[in-house]
Chains A and B, each alone.
Chain A
Amino acid sequence: MIYQGKQKIWSDYQKEIPSDRWFYVRSCIRQSFFPASEKYFLHICRDLLGKDIYETEHHTTCGGIAYHCDTIPQETAMTIVARQFALMTEAGYKNLVTSCITSFGNYTEILETWREFPELEARIRENLWKATRREFEKPEYVAHASDLVYKFRNEIAERAKYRLVDAQTGKALRIVEHIGCHYSKMFPHKGIGGAEYPCVLSGMVDSWGGEVVDYPERRHCCGFGFRQYLVKANRSYSVSNTHKKFESMEPYRPDAIITNCPGCPYFLDRWQYVIAEQTGKTYGEGGFGIPVFTYEEFAGLMLGIDPWDLGLQIHQVAVEPFLDKIGIEYDPKAKYLGLNKEEILRPGLPQRLKCF
Chain B
Amino acid sequence: MIDFGFGLSRSSAVRLDEVDLSLYRKLEALEPGVRTCMACGSCTSTCTAGPWSGMSVRKVILNLQRGKNVSDMLQACMLCGKCTMVCPRGINTRHLILSLCRIYDEKK
Interface residues of A (CB under 8 A from B): 1, 195-196, 216-217, 232-233, 235-237, 239-240, 243-245, 247-248, 251, 274-275, 277-280, 351
Contacts and interface: CB of A to CB of B under 8 A. Distances in A.
A217 B14 contact: yes
B96 to A, nearest CB: 17
Contact of B14 (A195, A196, A240, A248): A248
A275 B11 CA distance: 12
A278 B15 contact: no
Dominant SS among interface residues on chain A: helix
A278 B13 contact: no
B38 A236 contact: no
Interface stretch (B2-10, B22-30, B43-51): B2-10
A232 B3 CA distance: 13
Contacts of B7: 236, 278
A78 B29 CA distance: 49
* Listed residue (A233, A240, A275) with the most chain B CB atoms within 10 angstroms of its CB: A240
B13 A216 contact: yes
Contact of A216 (B6, B14, B38): B14
Given A216-B15, A248-B13, A277 B2 contact: yes
Contact of A244 (B1, B13, B36): B13
A243 B1 contact: no
Contacts of A278: 1-2, 4, 7-8
A244 B8 contact: no
Interface size, B (range): 10 to 19
Given A232-B6, A240-B9, 13 more contacts: A196-B38, A217-B13, A217-B14, A236-B7, A237-B9, A245-B13, A247-B11, A248-B13, A248-B15, A277-B2, A278-B1, A278-B8, A279-B8
10 contacts: A1-B36, A216-B13, A235-B6, A236-B7, A239-B8, A248-B13, A251-B15, A277-B4, A278-B8, A279-B8
Contacts of A247: 11, 13
A243 B8 CA distance: 8
A130 B7 CA distance: 48
Contacts of A235: 4-6
Nearest to A248: B13
Nearest to A271: B8
B33 to A, nearest CB: 11
A277 B5 CA distance: 13
Nearest to A238: B6
Given A216-B16, A247-B13, A277 B1 contact: yes
B11 A240 contact: yes
A217 B66 CA distance: 12
A352 to B, nearest CB: 9
Given A1-B36, A196-B38, A240-B9, A274 B4 contact: yes
In the complex, the 8 A-B pairs of residues with the closest C-beta atoms, listed nearest first: A248-B13, A240-B9, A247-B11, A235-B6, A247-B13, A236-B6, A277-B2, A216-B14
A251 B9 CA distance: 20
A233 B12 CA distance: 20
Given A196-B38, A278-B2, A240 B13 contact: no
